[in-house]
Amino acid sequence: MPWKETCAMEERLKLMLEWEAEEKSVSELCRCYGVSRKTGYKWHRRYVERGASGLLDLSRAPHRHPHALSDAVVASILEVRHGHPTWGPKKIRAYLGRHRPGVGWPAVSSIGELLQREGLVVSRRKRLRAPPRTAPFATCAEANDVWCIDLKGWFKCGDGARCDPLTLSDARSRYLLRCQALRCTDGEHAWPVLEAAFREYGLPGALRSDNGPPFGSVGAGGLSPFAVKVVKAGVMVERIDPGQPQQNGRLERLHLTLKQETASPPASSLRAQGRRFEAFQRSYNEERPHEALDQTPPADHYQSSARRYSGRLREPEYGDDEEVRRVHHSGEVRWRGHSIYISESLVGEPVGLVERDNGDWDIHYGPVPLGRIDRKGRFHRPKRKRRRRKPVRG
């Protein structure tokens, strides 16, 4: 015969039924079921009080946890989270510790568990990511060494108006200098925004951008009329490699936060969207903790540049050992009987030429190299590095 299967609940119920029948003594019953008299009386008391349900095992968890979050702490955490829906546990804890330093705020993991219990966190599958590239900003050691400028992708406001945000930030401190919607994305509308930042904060060492208009062009040196003004203001122009947006990744990451907090969904009008940008800029600079800055806001790390902007755009100066030519209205320069096309962006500007040992001449506009002129009067642009294409595997 097979063994009979039983469970603790069935054994306890049998014990109670025999207990109530009073055919055996309590000591004898406990010996038969292999329990002590103390345990037998415990289960009988529970059976009398709650019936059969009293024979179930009770939870051993404590009724009160000494390390549980207080209602006041929970309310403060949720208040910050509702005010800043994109902030995670690290930023919430850093913000609370900064504004209420006398309170013992819980660990980041505890705040994360609270947000998850409250349904304020959307679980996502963990993705493998490539290590971040830091080389493009290796020389960016102080505030105002490099500013980053870009146009975030356009979107429509609630009334159908097109919004083209222009963002400008300091690469070292991540301080957001400008966040403004443009009526048009050409240089005539972008330059006043940058010039206003120059007047307010001074001049950076370099301005980094992508290669698209209005910041760059396909002309010599990648110079556009906008970039020419930047050089004449006394700022070096830097452009990322084509198809490498991660080289300006700090500003690209800012665009994600900008979209989440100001344009999801967009405002009802362009004017209302502008007010959102102003509020975001103030919060981003003065309140939002930044992980790369040890969970402190960018305003703690930024100060205006010592190089003040006079408002005058000066032509580059060249040395006595350089030949200087001025670009004609056709974008050409005259060089030893040849008309050589350089760029229409440099019309009216002086360019410098320096002779090489082999008889060729390097031509540049201020600090920006444009190419070289060989001994036959032909102009050659610098060759760009070609990206290797990955082989397609069948």
Residue 312: inside a domain, yes or no?
A: no
Q: With H, G, I as helix, E, B as strand and everything else as coil, classify residue 98.
A: helix
Pair (76, 14) in one structural domain: no
Residue 28: inside a domain, yes or no?
A: yes
Pair (164, 200) in one structural domain: yes
Pair (200, 249) in one structural domain: yes
Into how many domains does the chain fold? 4
With tokens 């390097």, the residue in question is 362
Pair (149, 100) in one structural domain: no
What is residue 6's predicted lDDT score, i.e. its pLDDT? 64
Pair (282, 364) in one structural domain: no
Pair (176, 82) in one structural domain: no
Pair (244, 188) in one structural domain: yes
The model scores a pTM over 0.85: no
* Spatial distance between the Cα atoms of 312 and 125, rounded to a whole number of angstroms: 53
**Of 188, 231, 192, which is closest to residue 209 (Cα–Cα)?**
231
What is residue 3's predicted lDDT score, i.e. its pLDDT? 44
The three-point CA angle 247-84-134 to 5° equals 15
Q: What is the DSSP letter of 296?
A: B
CB-based contact 197:168 (threshold 8 Å): yes
Pair (183, 266) in one structural domain: yes
- For residue 281, give the CATH number of its domain: 3.30.420.10
Tell how strand 162-170 and strand 146-151 pair up: antiparallel
* Spatial distance between the Cα atoms of 66 and 61, rounded to a whole number of angstroms: 12
Ordered DSSP codes for 29-89: HHHHHT--HHHHHHHHHHHHHHGGGGGSPPP-S-SS-TTPPPHHHHHHHHHHHHHSTT--H
What is residue 132's predicted lDDT score, i.e. its pLDDT? 47
pLDDT tens per residue across all 394 residues of the chain: 454 456 888 888 888 888 888 888 989 888 988 899 999 899 899 889 888 888 888 888 777 777 788 889 999 999 999 999 989 999 999 999 999 998 889 999 999 999 999 999 877 776 655 444 445 665 788 999 999 999 998 999 999 999 999 999 999 999 999 999 998 999 999 999 999 999 999 999 999 999 889 999 988 999 999 999 999 999 999 988 887 888 888 888 899 999 999 999 999 999 999 999 999 999 999 999 999 899 999 999 999 999 999 999 999 999 998 999 999 999 999 988 889 999 999 999 999 999 998 889 999 999 999 999 998 889 998 876 555 555 545 4
Pair (277, 373) in one structural domain: no
Residue 186's domain comprises 143-300
Residue 83: inside a domain, yes or no?
A: yes
Q: Where does a domain end: 239, 269, 300?
A: 300
Name the token pair of 114: 């609270």
Residue 388: inside a domain, yes or no?
A: no
Residue 391: inside a domain, yes or no?
A: no
Pair (156, 102) in one structural domain: no
CB atoms within 10 A of CB 88: 16
Q: What is the DSSP letter of 220?
A: G
Q: What is the DSSP letter of 290?
A: B
Pair (170, 203) in one structural domain: yes
Pair (160, 188) in one structural domain: yes
Tell how strand 338-341 and strand 332-335 pair up: antiparallel
Residue 394: inside a domain, yes or no?
A: no
Residue 263: inside a domain, yes or no?
A: yes
Q: Cα dist. 89→112, 293, 295, 374 in Å?
A: 5, 16, 11, 61
Residue 152: inside a domain, yes or no?
A: yes
With tokens 């930047």, the residue in question is 230
